[in-house]
Amino acid sequence: MTTSTFAVPARGSALRWTVADSWVVARRDLLHWVRNPSVIIASVAFPAMFVLLFGFVFGSAITVPGGGDYREFLMPGMFAQAMVNGAAATVAAVAADKARGVTDRFRSMPMAPGAPVVGRSVADVVNSVLDLVVLVGLGLLVGWQAHGGVAGALAAVGLLLLLRFAMIWVGIYLGLVVSQEAAGLAWAPLFPLTMIANTFVHPSQLPGWLGPLADWNPLSATVTAVRELFGNAGPVGAQASWAEQNAMLLAVAWPLVIVAVFLPLAVRRYRRPAA
């Protein structure tokens, strides 16, 4: 058995080395999606089903506090739910690479430390932009509109992608930890996270003990902020909780905290695999 010693680039070129290697991995992951479009279709089909189910079946029985069109209330929640549920796809993809030996192969190559996980995060963000484009188009078809202007819409998209970026790192870490079989159940813990929130109804319409949980759900902060930026139904009232009144702040703070916790964990796990 032979061992290879890889030369470490000078400090000035370390950033270029990391960027170049990360892009190689990101391009590889993007090409996999292009060659297997069923993955993209599957990631959009689930939220599309929920839009049709709640928008046309259950929506007629749900009222929006303060009045307003329920579909306009619903769609920002659907956008955010799709960003969170995307973590399941990240877990599955990372776990599959680990099971097939791709991750070990990356570790054996002269690549920048952490570049494979950074590349995966870049590819997933690009994929999330495509998901949002499809979902926005679906929302327009069912009667949703953005009333907050171009700047508000761009800010809302930015918050949605920030939430997705945070969930990507959760997904990468879990994908490196769990088996490929367990990764197939990654959607299970995400389901209550997206349901015990203000995705479909306002927290005040939930049972008393669930309302506070929904208020402080990181997903709820993003949904409330996005509704405000899009100018959709669901205005924040005077009796709203602190979390709802400060949704913009929390919509930035929650994802940054998640990234601060899971990004180092994911990079450390990649560099030091379990024995």
pLDDT, tens digit, 9 for 90 and up, residues 71-103: 888 899 999 999 998 898 899 999 999 999 988
Amino acid found at 8? V
pLDDT, average across residues 167-180: 93
Q: Which whole-number Å values give the CA distances from 172 to 3, 211, 262, 265, 272, in the listed order? A: 28, 30, 9, 9, 14
E strand or H helix at 100 = none
Q: Is it the case that residue 156 has pLDDT exceeding 70?
A: yes
C-alpha torsion angle, residues 38, 44, 45, 46 (rounded to 10): 120
Identify the pLDDT of residue 111: 83
Q: Is it the case that residue 200 has pLDDT exceeding 90?
A: no
Identify the pLDDT of residue 240: 78
Q: Which whole-number Å values give the CA distances from 203 to 5, 64, 108, 193, 209, in the listed order? A: 57, 11, 50, 14, 10
pLDDT, average across residues 137-153: 88
In 140-226, beta strands by DSSP E: none
Identify the pLDDT of residue 220: 94
pLDDT bin (cut points 50, 70, 90) of residue 237 is low
- Please choose, from the candidates 250, 121, 240, the residue with its C-alpha nearest in 3D space to the C-alpha of residue 175: 121
C-alpha 255 chain-centroid distance:
10
Q: What is the mean pLDDT of the chain?
A: 85
At 267, list the tokens. Answer: 């990079």
Identify the pLDDT of residue 176: 93
Q: Is it the case that residue 38 has pLDDT exceeding 60?
A: yes
Q: Which residues contact 267 (CB under 8 A, 6 or more apart)?
A: 113, 114, 117
Q: 163 and 25 in contact (C-beta within 8 Å)?
A: no
Q: Is it the case that residue 37 has pLDDT exceeding 50?
A: yes
Q: Is it the case that residue 8 has pLDDT exceeding 90?
A: no
Identify the weakest region by mean pLDDT among 34-38, 72-76, 145-149: 34-38
At 100, list the tokens. Answer: 């097939």
Q: Which whole-number Å values give the CA distances from 87 to 84, 103, 120, 165, 268, in the listed order? A: 6, 19, 12, 9, 19
CA distance 170 to 176: 10
For the chain, give every domain's residue range. Answer: 36-271
C-alpha 127 chain-centroid distance:
10
pLDDT, average across residues 184-193: 82
Q: Is it the case that residue 9 has pLDDT exceeding 60?
A: no
At 50, list the tokens. Answer: 């929920």
Which pTM does this prediction carry?
Answer: 0.87
pLDDT, average across residues 34-62: 73
